[in-house]
Chain A
């Protein structure tokens, strides 16, 4: 079975189990909305301040929501030792990672799409003028978070103090992605929006580099 078809079968399983339990999506959507609304009331930013600081808060909220989402990614494969049955069944373990990171990226994107209208209203920031670019930045940023986060989730799921380990490893590793994503988003929210090509290219390169590393070394991360 090719990598693509195995990944599709596994992605179907990820989506089915999630939409049946709604464990991750509910938690992250509620969390991200609470954070954004809380910041909005606590700071009460003017439109100019929102344009300047809003994207930073937005990406901070996305990061926290992602770390909530990534924690159980491999952890829930351990309760019934399903990771072992998957490893026995698939010929390429990379497909397990691909399916998980595709599911995580999709869940993050769904969360972000639900959150965007609230962000626009509470921070008085127009998200529509540069919407396609904003979606691209959100996608590349979310993919970066998912790729690195899925790999670290596999590592932390087998460690002691796993709840502490994932954020400890994830936050420093994702700092470049978050800084660049926030900077590019700020430029998209300016009165005369600018598309920062270099920033978008950086995000794409980050994603490709981490995806390649996962493809090369992912197998070792799944070992007991």
Chain B
């Protein structure tokens, strides 16, 4: 990955509620993630991690509360939009790896899209399979292309929902290195994870959710590890 800098952008949740019918997925969630932090959201299944990440990605609108991006300049476009890796690949099965990335590069006004796509395909190890349709990819390859799509515009905020799913040990190492480099360049990283891993080692902060609310939030080493390993024993 080449050296580059990313405009610092944080993430602020203020009194976020999200209700699906009568069910609260999130209740009065308020915290701020500073620009350049690498935060991990931990918690049991159904605790609200995915909903919070989808709200942060502006894919879902909160029922109440406010989401803001401190540091984001007004009217800015391009890499000010969060990069988002979800449970689905969020790419088209009927397009090739290269066509998918080119599509999103063009939509997000990436400079020299062809060059950027080629470099990214090399980074994620899919350059040899660039012309293959995504539907022919294995689970791990799909996850790689999903991550590449989220990184295409060098986002200032990167949101990842269980990003290691489907990746082999080499893929996990690659992802950890990529995230480390992005984080060093100034990218704010927020991800949901289960247990400790090479990727969780990057965390500078851990927030634990339970029943839609924040129950623990720490930046200190021991507590951070405790939150990350909670429920995984």
Contacts and interface: CB of A to CB of B under 8 A. Distances in A.
Whether chains A and B associate is yes
Contacts of B86: 81, 84
Interface stretch (A5-13, A29-37, A39-47): A5-13
Given A16-B94, A88-B81, 18 more contacts: A9-B107, A13-B92, A13-B95, A16-B95, A80-B88, A81-B86, A81-B87, A81-B88, A82-B90, A82-B91, A84-B90, A85-B90, A86-B107, A87-B58, A87-B59, A88-B82, A89-B104, A223-B61
SS class, residues of chain A in contact with chain B: helix
Contacts of B149: 85
B69 interface: no
Interface of A: 1, 6, 9-10, 13, 16-17, 20-21, 79-82, 84-91, 223-224
A81 B57 CA distance: 13
Contact of A10 (B58, B93, B99, B107): B107
B103 A13 contact: yes
Contact of B104 (A1, A16, A20, A85): A85
Contacts, number: 68
Interface of B: 54, 57-61, 77, 81-82, 84, 86-95, 99, 103-104, 106-109, 133, 149
B223 to A, nearest CB: 33
Nearest to B142: A80
B90 A80 contact: yes
* Residue of A9, A84, A86, A224 with highest tally of chain B CB at under 10 A: A84
